[in-house]
């Protein structure tokens, strides 16, 4: 249950389902598929009927299921990836594209469009190197929506504070409000300030063509020696952080921008950075539930995504894998024990906490087997894509497992037209 403040998200599930008709009809038209009796769109759908919450949800599910039935296996697998645009440029070797250090791609080229035909991506993520000017980035995000057969996630890390891509880019002609940090907002003790930040950021992200923000940070800053979280978190008090996180999400949702809390199950009590190697959190599961997990659990009823960190949890899980590849953590604990039903994404799979230990093929397949819905920025997109297709074709991964994730993805996309 999320904490409500001045202007909470009201019946967001209903709003998403009611929006499904226009979006998914566009998707289905783009597919050019013929309806079969088995997969026919239910005649009962109408805007008036969508005013009833239960009916709207049923119709949303029906349309999403219908869209899923029209997809090829490669289209389904593609929906499970969010990639950097430069990962579609075959002349750039994967070794040069670690996380945000990729090429300064600023528009969709003919080469990129050709790659997308065989490797359709479910979404794109933009970094500051992809931003040249106000007009350029608005055109670029519009291109991403136009070239994708299915509505793509157009994502960005815009936390407010030190991790932003648009804020602080006045040299590029982009003038939006900046924030000192979410830690500073947390110190005010007033969730209304987090709501205002989410509202402001959501509004300008929507203006620039984005529909997914990998924010807010739901970690709590419990270790003063932490080198990666710090004042990106709302503070060290789990209950206060929970209220701030939920308020920020409500603000994003007012502009129909999706949220992703991160970095589950909590990166705050660490002293190293998973960008550059393995990081372990020594707490037990019970200890995590008493502190780190509180802001995440509070947000489960309203956030769209949970991003899984690459941290190892030797005293909380027994499989020895990073959280992002752990079925024990994602399927058994996050979904099973904690009851989370939304989308699950990895942190960037190009981080060295993953690439130092696993091949591209192995990390991609393990992530899907663990219960991940979206694979974020794999080190080598086409290799990771092909490995999942091969795993399905060989029977290692049931196609029904892919369908489960794609259905969740389509439901989320239905609310961000």
Query: Which residues are catalytically annotated?
Result: 275, 347
Sorted by sequence, the CB contacts under 8 Å of residue 56 that are 6+ apart come out as: 14, 17, 18, 20, 49, 50
Q: Do residues 349 and 317 touch, judged by C-beta distance below 8 A?
A: no
Question: What is the rounded distance in angstroms from the CA atom of residue 113 to the CA atom of residue 115?
Answer: 5
Q: Do residues 214 and 270 touch, judged by C-beta distance below 8 A?
A: no
21-52 core/surface letters (b: 16 or more CB in 10 A; e: else): bebbeebbeebeeeeeeeeebeeebeeeebee
With H, G, I as helix, E, B as strand and everything else as coil, classify residue 236.
Answer: coil
Q: What is the DSSP letter of 81?
A: E
Give the CA angle between residues 270, 233, 344 to the nearest 5°: 80
Question: What is the rounded distance in angstroms from the CA atom of residue 236 to the CA atom of residue 387?
Answer: 40
Sorted by sequence, the CB contacts under 8 Å of residue 113 that are 6+ apart come out as: 147
Question: What is the rounded distance in angstroms from the CA atom of residue 171 to the CA atom of residue 291?
Answer: 41
Identify the CA nearest to 176 among candidates 201, 141, 195, 156. 201
- Which is it for strands 81-83 and 123-126: parallel, antiparallel or unpaired? parallel
The DSSP string of 214-231 is ---B------TT-SSSGG
Question: What is the rounded distance in angstroms from the CA atom of residue 91 to the CA atom of residue 169?
Answer: 29
297-160-377-388 Cα dihedral, nearest 10 degrees: 20
96-131 core/surface letters (b: 16 or more CB in 10 A; e: else): ebbbbebbebbebeeebeebbeebbbbbbbbbbbbb
């Amino acid at each position: 249950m999320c904490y409500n403040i001045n202007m909470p998200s009201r019946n967001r599930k209903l709003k998403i389902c009611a929006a499904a008709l226009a979006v998914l009809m566009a998707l289905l038209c783009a597919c050019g598929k013929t309806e079969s009796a088995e997969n026919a769109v239910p005649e009962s759908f109408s805007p008036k009927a969508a005013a009833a919450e239960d009916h709207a949800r049923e119709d949303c599910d029906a349309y999403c299921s219908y869209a899923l039935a029209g997809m090829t296996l490669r289209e389904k697998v593609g929906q499970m990836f969010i990639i950097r645009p430069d990962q579609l440029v075959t002349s750039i070797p994967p070794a040069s594209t670690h996380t945000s250090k990729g090429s300064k791609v600023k528009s969709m080229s003919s080469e990129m469009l050709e790659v997308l035909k065989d490797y359709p991506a479910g979404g794109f993520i933009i970094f500051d190197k992809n931003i040249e000017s106000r007009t350029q980035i608005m055109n670029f995000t519009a291109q991403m929506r136009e070239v994708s057969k299915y509505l793509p996630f157009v994502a960005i890390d815009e936390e407010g504070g030190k991790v932003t891509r648009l804020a602080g880019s006045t040299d590029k002609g982009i003038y939006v409000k900046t924030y000192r940090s979410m830690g500073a907002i947390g110190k005010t003790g007033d969730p209304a300030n987090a709501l205002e930040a989410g509202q402001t950021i959501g509004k300008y992200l929507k203006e620039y063509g984005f529909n997914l923000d990998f924010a807010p940070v739901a970690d709590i800053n419990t270790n003063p020696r932490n080198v990666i979280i710090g004042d990106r978190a709302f503070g060290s008090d789990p209950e206060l952080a929970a209220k701030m996180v939920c308020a920020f999400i409500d603000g994003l949702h007012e502009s129909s921008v999706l949220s992703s809390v991160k970095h589950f199950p909590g990166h705050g009590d660490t002293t190293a950075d998973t960008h550059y190697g393995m990081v372990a959190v020594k707490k037990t599961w019970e200890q995590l539930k008493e502190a780190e997990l509180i802001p995440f659990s509070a947000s489960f009823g309203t956030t769209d995504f949970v991003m899984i960190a690459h941290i190892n949890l030797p005293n909380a899980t027994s499989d020895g894998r990073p959280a992002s590849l752990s079925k024990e953590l994602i399927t058994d604990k996050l979904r099973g024990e904690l009851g989370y039903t939304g989308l699950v994404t990895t942190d960037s799979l190009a981080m060295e906490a993953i690439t130092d230990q696993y091949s591209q093929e192995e990390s991609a397949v393990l992530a899907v087997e663990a219960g991940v819905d979206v694979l974020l920025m794999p080190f080598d997109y086409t290799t990771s894509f092909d490995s999942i297709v091969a795993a399905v074709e060989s029977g290692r991964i049931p196609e029904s497992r892919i369908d489960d994730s794609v259905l969740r993805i389509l439901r989320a996309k239905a609310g961000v037209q």
